[in-house]
Structure formats: structure tokens, C-alpha cells
Structure 1
Amino acid sequence: MNNREGEVNRLRRRKPIPIFIQLLAGMFLIAALAIALTNWFNYRQTSRIALNRTADYTQESVDQLSAKIDVLLRQYDQASQMIAFDEKVLKALHRTASKDGETSGYGFRPVFGGKSPLYRWRYADSFIRP
């Protein structure tokens, strides 16, 4: 008998696995598969919910910041208009105007010759006279 035939005979003489062990292994594999699938679906659903909530919270934060920036910009606009159109400021600019009256000491001149109820100022070099 050669070595190969001895190996084949030895494999044939091996005891069969008891049915209890086979059932136990099968039940274990079925339970492990069921648990793995359940965990996988739960993970997908949980991650989707977390992603949606994060997106909602982020959108809410962006909306709140946008509203706050709008309020701040309105306040800055109101403050700058109060400063720019205040009578005291306008009088001080007129007092510092040069003798010919065209340009103030700060390099600004009134548009429309001061006839507008609200004075608008432009930088003197950018103003083109007709």
C-alpha cells in the first residue's frame, strides 16, 4: 500500500460528526446570520436618521446665522445713514469746504448741488462735471 492509499483509507475510517453537533452548528450559523442582518439594517436606518437630523440642525443654524447677519447689516446701514445724513455732520463738512465751495476738506462734494433733501456724497475725483 502506498502512502496515498493509506491516507484515503484513514479519511474513510473517520467517524461521522454526530447529528447533535451538526444541528448545533447549523442553529449557530442561522442565529449569527439573523443577528448580523438585523444589525446591518439597524445601522443603515440609524445612520440615515442621524444624517437627516444633522442636516436639519445644520440648515437651522444657517437660517439663524443668516437672520442674525441680516439684522446686523440693517443696524449698520441705519447707523451709517444716521451718521451720513445727520445735520451736524453735514454742517461740519460744509464748514471744512474749500473757498470755492466745490470740494469739502475730506475730498467729497455734494451731488445735485445740495438741492436734494438727502445729501449724497461722492468722492471728488470720481465726480465728473457736465
Structure 2
Amino acid sequence: VGPRPSEVATHPITNISFQENKGSVEIMRKDLNDARDLHGQAESAAAGHVMDRRKKALTDYKKLRAFFAEEEGRFLQEAEKEEGSLDDEDEDPAERFRSLLQAVSELERRHRNLGLSMLLQVFMFLGYKHFIIEICIG
């Protein structure tokens, strides 16, 4: 029938085949561990990159926020000066909104290099909502 188990374990060809398989398994195990290490390193690098980007975004946000606070102050001062010289009740609401858009466009033109156009669009949208609310209330 077939060889006895004691003959298989001591047979030279089977012993060599077993050693080769054992060596292949060890190589595969080492490759798997290396792959896990590389994956861990890649995850760490990616996490560091994300944190750096978040820090930069937060810093940029703080700068833009300070800039807008300063510009808002200037805008309000100019509006108060104009308010004193103009009679707002006689002025058309559409004209007031147009002057707001002109001021925002001027702000965008002066500070285009800061990449504020997207934020100014939001500001314009919010100003437009304020304008609609003023018309509805007034």
C-alpha cells in the first residue's frame, strides 16, 4: 500500500522537501512582517503630514480672521462717515447694496494675492441675505 509514517519522516527526499517548505514559510513570514512595518511607517508619515496641514490651515485661518476683523473695522468706520453725510432714508436700498458690493469688490481687488476671493463671495452672500432681511423688515 503506501509507505509507513516512519519511512516518510526519514526518507531523504521528503526531508529536503520539508526543509524547503519551512524555508519558504520563514521567508513569507519575514516579508509579511516587513510589509507590516512599512505600512506602519507609511501611516505615521501620513498622520504627520495631516497634522502639519491642519496646523497650517489653522494658522492661515487665524491670519484671515484677524485680517477680516481689521477690514470690518475699517469698513464700519467708512460706513459711519458716509452715514453721517448721506440721508439713508432717502437712499434706495438697492443702491445701498450696490455700494456694499463695490466696497467688497474693492477689498477683493486690493487683497487678491491673499486668496480671499472665496471668502469674499461668502461675505457677499451674507451681505445679500442681510439686504433681503432689511427690505423685509423695513
TMscore range, shorter length: 0.5 to 0.7
Deviation at 1:97, TM superposition (A): 2.9
Q: Does 1:65 find its partner at 2:57?
A: yes
Q: Deviations over 1:50-107 (max 9, x none)?
A: 1111111101101101111111121111111112114xx4232112236xxxx78588
* Structure with the higher helix share, 1 or 2: 2
CA distance in 1, matches of 2:56, 2:64: 12
TM-score by length of 2: 0.55
Question: How much identity, in percent, do the aligned residues show?
Answer: 8
Find the counterpart in structure 2 of residue 94 from structure 1. Answer: 84
Could you tell me which of 31, 34, 38 is aligned with 2:26? Answer: 34
Cα deviation code 1:5-61 (max 9, x no counterpart): xxxxxx258xx7683311220111110111111111111111111111111110110
Taking structure 1 as the reference length, the TM-score comes to 0.57
Structure 2 portions without partners, runs of 5+: 94-133
- Asked if structure 2 preserves the Cα contact closer than 8 Å seen for 1:93 and 1:104, the reply is no
Assess, with a 3 A threshold, how the Cα gap between structure 1 residues 94 and 12 changes in structure 2: closer, same or farther.
closer
The structure with the largest alpha-carbon Rg is: 1
Q: Which runs of 5+ in 1 are unaligned?
A: 1-10, 108-124, 126-130
Moved over 3 A (4+): 103-107
- Corresponding residue number in structure 1 for 2:107: none
Report what 1:45 is aligned to. Answer: 37
CA RMSD of superposed structures (Å): 3.3
State the distance in 2 between where 1:32 and 1:106 align.
Answer: 85
